[in-house]
Amino acid sequence: MSRLDATETFDGITFPGHLHTQESLQLALRFPFQDTDIVIVSYPKSGTTWMQQMVTLISNKGDPHVSQTVPNWARAPWLEHHYSAALVDTLSRPRVITTHLPHHMLARALRGSKARVIYVSRNPKDVVVSFYHFHKMANFLPEAGSFQDFLNTFLEGTVHFGSWFDHIKGWTSQLGAMTNLLHVTYEEMSMDCQGSIVKVSSFLQCPLVEDEVNSCARHCSFSSMRDNSMINCTLIPHEILDHSKGSFMRRGKVGDWRNMFTEEQNEHFERVLMGKMQGCSVEFVWGDAAQR
Ligand code: A3P
């Protein structure tokens, strides 16, 4: 299946047809989660791959073997991708499943399930910059165009995978209601990787000793992941991901948006953010003045 130029519109959201079909999206909505499942949820470019690596390492007590021999899409497949149906059943327990779907699409499938859900979020200014650069290299995504155009589309919520604002509000609104939901930010992973590993491992009831935590941290550092072909996307053929146009493991920095945004773009973004995030009770680390 190539379908590099195809787009699937589902429930008002567009998805790359290279990875999604109407059937695969329908199947995701009815997915029979098991109570032992670990579900990594994120809006694209929020640190999904990083959390996949962290969870793999935690589950293996810091032993990097699996993370160095099995590609991330095979050990933690995306629920909504067309290849997942065949793959998910072959995973050993606990299964690690990844998804970019908004909460309202998965609410029914998750209702009553004890599956542990980890929601990863990131400063949307860094998300949009990372997503823009990824559009330049991913031949299954629309033309990136100018950064200003891309920023407008992102703020309108009409990029592939839908509105960042709806995604974050939908999932974080469940933080009180779902006891099996953990929120981890890219920024806290960046500022305190060890602390994030301990937080995630205790949520997964997989306690680690200090050496194991240190080993996890070593193998999920930016440099280690950049050099690991099982996680850095270099196994993806050039016609799908044009590696001459960028790297998946690009910068890995908090606040890289400052290198891209003009003062005017920042002011506009802040105005839209303030308006759209009204009613969202979660305090974000990236909301600190230091991150602005
Ligand atoms: P940048 O483009 O800003 O570098 P996702 O996995 O959700 O698609 O997110 C990809 C982003 O996470 C990229 O951001 C990538 O560099 C960053 N990333 C992945 N692993 C990381 C790590 N170990 N440390 C810091 N950033 C990481």
103 is catalytic: no
Residue nearest (by alpha carbon) to ligand 1 atom 27: 252
Ligand 1 centroid vs 250 CA: distance in angstroms?
Answer: 7
Axis crossing angle, helix 124-137 with helix 147-156, rounded to the nearest 10: 120
Catalytically annotated residue among 18, 20, 82, 100: 100
Res 281: pLDDT: 75
Res 292: pLDDT: 45
Show the CA angle centred on residue 110, arms to residues 108 and 112, nearest 5°.
95
Residue nearest (by alpha carbon) to ligand 1 atom 8: 45
Res 176: pLDDT: 87
Give the integer Cα–Cα distance in Å for 167 and 131. 15
Ligand 1 centroid vs 46 CA: distance in angstroms?
Answer: 7
Res 285: pLDDT: 62
Residue-wise pLDDT for 240-255, tens only, equals 999 999 999 999 999 9
Q: Are 220 and 193 in contact (CB under 8 A)?
A: yes
Atom of ligand 1 nearest to the CA of 256: 3
| CA Rg value for the chain | 18
Ligand 1 centroid vs 112 CA: distance in angstroms?
Answer: 32
Domains of the chain, with CATH numbers?
7-291 (3.40.50.300)
Ligand 1 contacts (CB < 6 A) are 42, 44-50, 126, 130, 133, 220-222, 225, 249-252, 256
Res 1: pLDDT: 61
SS3 143: coil
- 216 backbone φψ class: left, alpha, beta (φ>0; ψ -120 to 50): alpha
Res 288: pLDDT: 47
Alpha helices in 30-185 (DSSP H): 48-59, 65-69, 72-75, 84-88, 103-110, 124-137, 147-156, 164-172
Residue nearest (by alpha carbon) to ligand 1 atom 9: 45
Atom of ligand 1 nearest to the CA of 46: 7
List the one residue out of 242, 73, 101 whose CA is nearest residue 171: 101
Chain centroid to CA 290: 24
Residue nearest (by alpha carbon) to ligand 1 atom 14: 252
Give me the residues of the chain with pLDDT under 50, please. Answer: 288-292
Atom of ligand 1 nearest to the CA of 50: 20
Size of the chain in residues: 292
Ligand 1 centroid vs 177 CA: distance in angstroms?
Answer: 29
Ligand 1 centroid vs 111 CA: distance in angstroms?
Answer: 30
List the one residue out of 10, 1, 76 whose CA is nearest residue 37: 76
